[in-house]
Amino acid sequence: MSIRDMLLRSDLSLTPSEEKIVQALLTDYPTAGLGTATALAKRAGVSDPTVVRLVMKLGFEGYPGFQAKLLAEVEARLHSPLLMMEAKRLESGSTADGIATSYLHSVVACMDRTITGTPAMSYERAARLVSEAKGSVFLLGGRFSRHIAGMLSGYVTQLRSDVHDIGVFSAQSFDRLIDMDKRDVLVVFDYRRYQRDVVAFAEQAAARGVKILLFTDPWLSPISDYAEVTLSSAIDVTSPYDTLAPAVGQIEALAAHLIARMDDDTRTRIEELEAVRERNGVTFDNTRSNAGDTASNEPSVRSVPGPKNTRQEPKP
């Protein structure tokens, strides 16, 4: 459990002075706790012994232990693939199951931690936020997570109108802010090491009254300070690169919630989309219905899956 989570525990009984310290820590987390106990006490307007009593109430033997835990969180948030390359690099023969199998097991473990670490109600709140938005739904992600934003956009576009995937973020993307207001929802994907322009965009959108739905990691993007709903997923695997597989599972879980809320208007929208796709032969199943048209130049659907074999096998 992170120190932020400890401070937000509902069963944590605090004195008024201790509440001031908690407020000071959460207002500028984690920076406020990286100085001395005296500096934190001065910031909160309390005495040094009050700071020590609070950290002991959190389960630490003293302020040094509290600060060591906080520093470990900061280090984990700032880890880059380069820093983790040697520590997490698997070599051939280093595991009994092989590199791929060992890695996939670590991904499954991440999925399990994500399931147990995310309240089911959070998905319902996220679905309500997206489906009930009076204005537009915008989706934004970082260098890698923007691909997941695009996937979610593909789901949501089928279920409602006014869905906009911002895509590759650039300086020009900030121009979209002038058209965003309190009727809109911004769905953001931001994972460590967190992207400055994405954080800045979300912060300014929130200042305009836009509701924020955040997908992030257990260490929480700075955007969590502005988010109305936050869905975190485990990302730490046996690789220098964090996994986004649990995040993909989360957007599919959100899509399932959105479908469960589907009404007659949504059903009509999907039917109209399917009619458009059929008219334009978008997928193979659309062309199958035209199989009787001998003049059609559309490719036929092969009954056997797998790659085409251009060579004819000799007959026995």
The mean of the pLDDT values for the chain is 85
Query: Domain residue spans in the chain?
Result: 3-78, 110-264
Q: How far is CA 98 from the centre of its chain?
A: 29
Q: Is the peptide bond before 246 cis (omega within 30 degrees of 0)?
A: no
**pLDDT tens per residue across span 238-271:** 887 889 999 999 999 999 999 999 899 999 999 9
- CATH code linked to domain 110-264: 3.40.50.10490
Distance, in Å, from the CA atom of 217 to the CA atom of 220, rounded to the nearest integer, reads: 5
Cα separations in angstroms, 148 against 118, 246, 269: 18, 11, 23
Could you identify the residue written with the tokens 């996994």?
243
Give me the CATH topology for the region 3-78: Arc Repressor Mutant, subunit A (1.10.10)
- Answer yes or no: is pLDDT of 157 > 90: yes
Q: Tell me the CA distances in angstroms from 126 to 2, 137, 166, 246, 281, one per residue in order.
A: 23, 12, 19, 16, 34
Q: 77: pLDDT confidence band, cut at 50, 70 and 90? A: low
Q: What is residue 10's predicted lDDT score, i.e. its pLDDT?
A: 78
Neighbours of 60 (CB within 10 A): 18
pLDDT, one tens digit per residue, over 277-315 is 888 888 777 555 555 554 555 555 555 555 555 555 555
- The backbone torsions φ and ψ at residue 141, rounded to the nearest 5 degrees and listed phi first, read -145, 175
Mean pLDDT over 73-89 rounds to 60
Same fold, 3-78 and 110-264: no
